[in-house]
Amino acid sequence: MSSQATQQSAPQTWSTNQAYSPSSSPTSSEGLSLESQQVIAAFGSEAPAILNNYALQLEGLLDSAVAWGQEMTGTLQEYAEFATQSHTENLAYNEILTNPDVLSDYTIRFFGPEGPYPVHEGEQDLEAYGYPTEQVDPYAYGEFPAPPAAAAPQQPTNFWGTFNDMMARDPQNAWRVLNQAQPGTVSNKLFVME
With 0.75 as the threshold, say if the pTM is over it: no
Residue 91 lies in a domain: no
Average pLDDT for the chain: 76
Closest CA to 164 of 179, 176, 153, 174: 174
Predicted confidence band at 20 (pLDDT cuts at 50, 70, 90)? Answer: very low
Residue 26 lies in a domain: no
Number of domains in the chain: 1
Range(s) of the domain holding residue 168 = 158-189
Residue 183 lies in a domain: yes
Residue 165 lies in a domain: yes
d(CA 118, CA 112): 8
Residue pair 30/23 in contact by the 8 Å Cβ criterion = yes
d(CA 163, CA 191): 18
pLDDT in tens, 29-62: 677 889 888 888 888 888 888 888 999 999 999 9
Residue 7 lies in a domain: no
Predicted confidence band at 181 (pLDDT cuts at 50, 70, 90)? Answer: confident
- Based on C-alpha coordinates, what's the Rg of the chain? 49
d(CA 64, CA 43): 30
- Element housing 71 (H / E): helix 47-98
Distances (CA, A) of 178 to 155, 159, 160: 14, 9, 9
Predicted confidence band at 162 (pLDDT cuts at 50, 70, 90)? Answer: confident
Alpha helices, H only, 99-113: 100-111
Residue 178 lies in a domain: yes
What are the residues whose beta carbons fall under 8 Å from the beta carbon of 63, sequence distance 6 or more?
2, 3, 6
Give the three-class secondary structure for 35: helix
Percent of the chain's residues with pLDDT above 90: 21
pLDDT of 157 above 70: no
| Cα dihedral across residues 1, 58, 52, 32: positive or negative | positive
> What's the mean pLDDT in 125-140?
68
How much is the pLDDT for 118? 62
Residue 90 lies in a domain: no
pLDDT in tens, 77-125: 999 999 999 999 999 888 988 999 998 888 888 887 777 766 666 666 6
pLDDT of 12 above 90: no
Residue 113 lies in a domain: no
